């Protein structure tokens, strides 16, 4: 009754695509987190001086990711940069994630009440000690759910890199669909793989949050 042309090799091909998706996600989140952390702190602590930074990041938040991929890929060719499509994917996704994470970090830092910071300064803590021991730990708890959302979002946005010729999970599934003409089955499997990857990340995050909530 149930017959399919899907082979074990096809499944392995999908998993290889999933591995590329994971790598893209990991690198771009790493880049986005580091840059976003720096930019977000600057935006929260020096709002006036860093206004131009906000304008630039707004561009990356506003222009569809697909356009950013294609434009950056073309720019790469025009400028004669010798970098792989995978690197382009990581950079574009990383900047995109950074633009979002900047706002998440800024929100977290601004959520720390001024009175709490005054209390720590009144004890003799320096500006940097106040940041390190009071502001950052509290802001982290506020910003974490937003960061987790971003990770899951970026994981799915990686699907767009197929437009610059990278074979990741979605592209791999389309290749198989073209050959065996069973889109429902293949897309279900691809969707399931995305779901499992997201679930693992979400569960890890939830565990961390519970641990914090026991305290606060």
Partner 1 sequence: MIEIENVHKSFGDLEVVKGVSLTVDKGEVVSIIGGSGSGKSTLLMCINGLEPIQQGSIRVDGVEVHDRATDLNHLRQKIGIVFQQWNAFPHLTVLENVMLAPRKVLGKSKQDAEALAVRQLEHVGLGDKLKAFPSKLSGGQQQRMAIARALAMSPDYMLFDEATSALDPQLVGEVLDTMRMLAEDGMTMVLVTHEIRFARDVSDRVAFFCNGRVHEIGPPEQVIGNPVQPETAAFLRSVK
For partner 1, the binding residue among 12, 51, 118, 183 (CB under 8 A) is 118
Is 145 near partner 1 (CB under 8 A)?
Answer: no
3 phi, psi to nearest 5 deg: -125, 140
Q: Name the minimum Å distance from CB 108 to partner 1.
A: 12
Distance of CA 15 to the CA centre of its chain: 20
Residue 63 is given by DSSP the state S
Q: Name the minimum Å distance from CB 141 to partner 1.
A: 7
Is 209 near partner 1 (CB under 8 A)?
Answer: no
> What is the total count of residues that contact partner 1 (CB under 8 A)?
21
Which residues, at least 6 apart from 60, have a Cβ–Cβ distance to it below 8 Å?
68, 95, 96, 98, 99
Nearer to partner 1, 23 or 129 (CB): 129
Distance, CA of 73 to CA of 64 (rounded, Å): 14
Mask for 124-143, x = binds partner 1 (CB under 8 A) = xxx--x---xx--xx--x--
Interacting residues with partner 1 (CB under 8 A): 113, 115-116, 118-126, 129, 133-134, 137-138, 141, 212, 215-216
């Amino acid at each position: 009754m149930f017959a399919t042309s899907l082979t074990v090799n096809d499944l392995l091909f999908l998993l290889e695509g999933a591995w590329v998706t994971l790598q893209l996600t990991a690198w771009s989140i790493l880049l986005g987190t580091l840059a976003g952390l720096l930019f977000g702190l600057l935006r929260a602590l020096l709002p006036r001086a860093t206004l131009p930074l906000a304008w630039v990041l707004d561009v990356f938040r506003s222009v569809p990711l697909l356009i950013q991929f294609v434009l950056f890929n073309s720019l790469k060719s025009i400028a004669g940069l010798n970098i792989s499509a995978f690197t382009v994917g990581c950079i574009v996704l990383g900047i995109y994630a950074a633009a979002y994470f900047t706002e998440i970090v800024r929100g977290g830092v601004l959520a720390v009440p001024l009175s709490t910071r005054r209390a720590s300064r009144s004890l003799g803590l320096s500006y940097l000690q106040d940041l390190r021991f009071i502001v950052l730990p509290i802001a982290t708890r506020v910003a974490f759910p937003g960061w987790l959302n971003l990770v899951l979002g970026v994981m799915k946005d990686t699907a767009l890199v197929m437009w610059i010729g990278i074979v990741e999970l979605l592209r791999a599934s389309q290749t198989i669909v073209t050959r065996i003409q069973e889109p429902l089955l293949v897309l279900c499997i691809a969707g399931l793989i995305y779901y499992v990857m997201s679930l693992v990340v979400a569960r890890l995050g939830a565990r961390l949050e519970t641990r914090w909530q026991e305290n606060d």
